[in-house]
Amino acid sequence: MNDSTVRRWSRAQRYLADGQIAAARVALESLLQRDPGHTQSLLALSGVARAEGHVRDATEYALAVARNLPTDGSLIAEVAEVLRQLGETVAARRCLDHPVLAETSDGSVLTQMAITRKLLGEHPEALTLLNRAAAVGMGTVDFRFERAQELMFNGHMDEAEAELRTCLRLAPCHGQAALTLSRARRQTLQGNHLHDLRQRLQEVEQGTEDHGALEFALYKELEDLARYDEAWSSLARANAIMYARQQHDPRHAWRLFDSLIDRCTPEFLQAGDMAHDGPQPIFIIGMPRSGTTLLERVLSNHSQVTSAGELSEFGLQLRWVADHRITLDEHIVQRLPDLDYAKIGRRYLEQTQWRAQGARFFIDKMPRNWMVAGLIHRALPQARILNLVRDPMDVCFSNFRTLVMGDLLPWGYDLHALAEHYLQYRRVLDHWHAAMPGQIFDVSYSDLTRDPEAMTRKVLAHCGLEWEAGCVDITRNEAAVATLSLSQVREPIHTRFFEEWRNYEQQLQPLRQAITR
């Protein structure tokens, strides 16, 4: 970099640090007029454009870097992650395959690459990278927790638990490590962490995510020991802590879904006669904790189906076509008639068909895609859509007892908000069924667990697949699992998870009354 570039880059960095986005954009654009290939400026402009809601510009800046990658491994890894966030999966993977990264021994770069691989759903590759990072000395608490999670996803439970215990020795109030350790197996009178958890709760900063996670862990272990009154107290405290950290308004969600329904008439949802070549997606949707992972394991046992995991790609391609940073909000709903659905479909397949690995179908198991199922049908008319249906109290309680860090599922921490969200889900699914009959196949979780073969035959028929006897033996499915159901789906199909909410029947009466209205 010459002196002029250094000065301009320093000025742009100051603007960014001060939150002066418009000034930073002007400074960066001025720098690029003099030095068009300045990698850091292109990446910074990608971030600025994304912050301002210009997704297409953000994508083009990132792709410009990818077309002329630097030799700095850290920057290449950063470019890969930016591209992944923007839905440019193919370009992101090309960056990760760069020779500079293949040869790196930088632990931080290896960890950065591993996280991107994980978020792409490539869990064996992510674990390999984390193991390489560990071999060159990476050992921070955050690194060890990341590696523990990946060990669990890949089925190495004993090693994962050892890593989690190390996390807790280094950071005694690491709530997620404590909760993950509690979830790893059923606790017993002879072996549990109750004393440690109570000690950690005395030391943790109150009202933090760590505090909430520790309360969830205490609830889980008390429930394992059938101490239900104490367990409920911990569960109620855990959810109160987490809900206080959210910004969630069920009334806003009702208005949004009502507008979506008004826009998505049967005429609007007609997909036209477009057809796409190559492997096609099978979307598995539904409420979280409804059995989507179980269905994914059954279906991906079929010789013509592979699982791609929980993909964000449809929403990301919707954002690109709409040039908007949010998948579903009032702006998107108003824009629905103007969007190019054929382009959404094409872009989605361009970024996902590599996941099929030679199979006819690949599974896209993103539960919250129920919100945009009608748009999926319009953009991808050959796609199959399967909706998991579980008993209302079972699925709602399973969400209430589950910590999801961040604000991804804010409605899950409050019984009123949870009931409202469930009713919104039911209203939208009822509309999709009425507006495009036969396009979504409801899969009963009860039937799938009580008579797996009969339900699987129906699912396969809907997908245009022949029956294969091995599908229902989910123990032979050795693929990585990156959901909270990772322990359950490594066992044979069972019926243990019915009416667990009845241990708290009195406390849950408000929820029961609300969801049956």
Residue with tokens 């997620």: 176
481 pLDDT higher than 80: no
Among the listed residues 268, 273, 275, the one whose alpha carbon sits nearest the alpha carbon of residue 383? 275
Q: What whole-number distance in Å separates Cα of residue 417 and Cα of residue 478?
A: 37
127 pLDDT higher than 90: yes
- Kindly report, as residue ranges, where domains of CATH 1.25.40.10 are found in the chain: 1-103
* The two structure tokens encoding residue 421: 């969200």
- Residue 498's pLDDT band, with cuts at 50, 70 and 90, is confident
- Kindly report, as residue ranges, where domains of CATH 3.40.50.300 are found in the chain: 263-391+440-496
CATH 3.40.50.300 fits 263-391+440-496, yes or no: yes
CATH 3.40.50.170 fits 1-103, yes or no: no
Pairing outcome for strands 440-444 and 384-389: parallel
492 pLDDT higher than 90: no
- Residue 225's pLDDT band, with cuts at 50, 70 and 90, is very high
**What confidence tens digit (pLDDT) does each residue in 249-285 have?**
999 999 999 999 999 999 999 987 788 999 999 999 9
Query: 3-class DSSP state for residue 72?
Result: coil
Mean pLDDT value across the chain: 94
Lowest mean pLDDT among 11-15, 218-222, 280-284: 11-15
- Give one word for 279, left, alpha or beta, with left for phi > 0 and alpha for psi -120 to 50: beta
Helices (H), 72-193: 73-85, 89-96, 99-103, 107-119, 123-135, 141-153, 157-170, 175-183
Q: What whole-number distance in Å separates Cα of residue 393 and Cα of residue 504?
A: 11
- Phi first, then psi: give them for residue 426, nearest 5 degrees: -65, -40
**What confidence tens digit (pLDDT) does each residue in 57-100 have?**
999 999 999 999 999 999 999 999 999 999 999 999 999 999 99
Q: Are 440 and 429 in contact (CB under 8 A)?
A: yes
* The two structure tokens encoding residue 442: 């409801």
Q: What is the mean pLDDT of residues 107-123?
A: 97
Q: What whole-number distance in Å separates Cα of residue 226 and Cα of residue 503?
A: 9
172 pLDDT higher than 90: yes
Q: Are 115 and 81 in contact (CB under 8 A)?
A: yes
